[in-house]
Chain A
């Protein structure tokens, strides 16, 4: 693994189903983030984690949950997907002494 990876690349999901988007980084960055990107709205922060074991809510957290059991992984879970959660989801990480966030390739999620 080099950098930050996300899985799956894309997914079509029935409304009401549970879904976990995976994010893994091998850069040993302490901070990690989940964003959604919608046409005309730009990137919006869902949840973040400053370090393993801690998480925080961003601008649009409702309907999403995260966990940070270790430094490398930061999964995002949709407990019961709704069509308004159709979006492209980006995971990002940031080293401790920098403001630069490094983004993954994204997951395109469609909820029908």
Chain B
């Protein structure tokens, strides 16, 4: 069964600290993996996308990694800011219109 598991379910850190969110998947075949950020009351917004051949990609203070062999990805946030408070959703694509499998997300809270 195609699944995407994210951990932790929720996380609270102090402003300025770093954190890493995890994503494990069993989706097959694999097309790409994407991290989305969803602010409270808003729709998800794409942060990064990685294909099979890419093992790291950065977007400002966000760095995503992918290990296609172990089927694991991580999202590292450096020097966290209050605006980083959001849910972060890992999405794995098999390709095709209905080929996305969504994780349940990690709810991140940055405290001042």
Q: Which partner residue on chain B sits nearest A49 by CB separation?
A: B97
The answer to whether A103 and B43 have CB atoms under 8 Å apart is yes
Contact of A42 among B32, B34, B93, B105 (CB under 8 A): B105
B9-41: contact bitstring with A at CB < 8 Å (1 yes, 0 no)? 000000000000000000000011010000001
Contact of B100 among A45, A102, A105 (CB under 8 A): A45
Q: Does A74 contact B (CB under 8 A)?
A: no
A31 to B93, CA, bound (A): 15
The answer to whether A105 and B105 have CB atoms under 8 Å apart is no
Q: B44-52, B64-72, B73-81: which lies at the A interface? A: B44-52
The answer to whether A42 and B102 have CB atoms under 8 Å apart is yes
Q: Does B104 contact A (CB under 8 A)?
A: yes
The answer to whether B104 and A40 have CB atoms under 8 Å apart is yes
User: Count of A residues near B, CB < 8 Å?
Assistant: 23
Q: Does B89 contact A (CB under 8 A)?
A: yes
Q: Does B42 contact A (CB under 8 A)?
A: yes
A92 to B89, CA, bound (A): 15
CB within 8 Å for A42 and B46 given contacts A56-B97, A58-B98: no
A40 to B105, CA, bound (A): 9
Q: Which partner residue on chain B sits nearest A100 by CB separation?
A: B46
4 additional A-B pairs beyond A105-B41, A105-B43, A106-B43, beta carbons within 8 Å, are: A43-B44, A45-B98, A99-B32, A100-B34
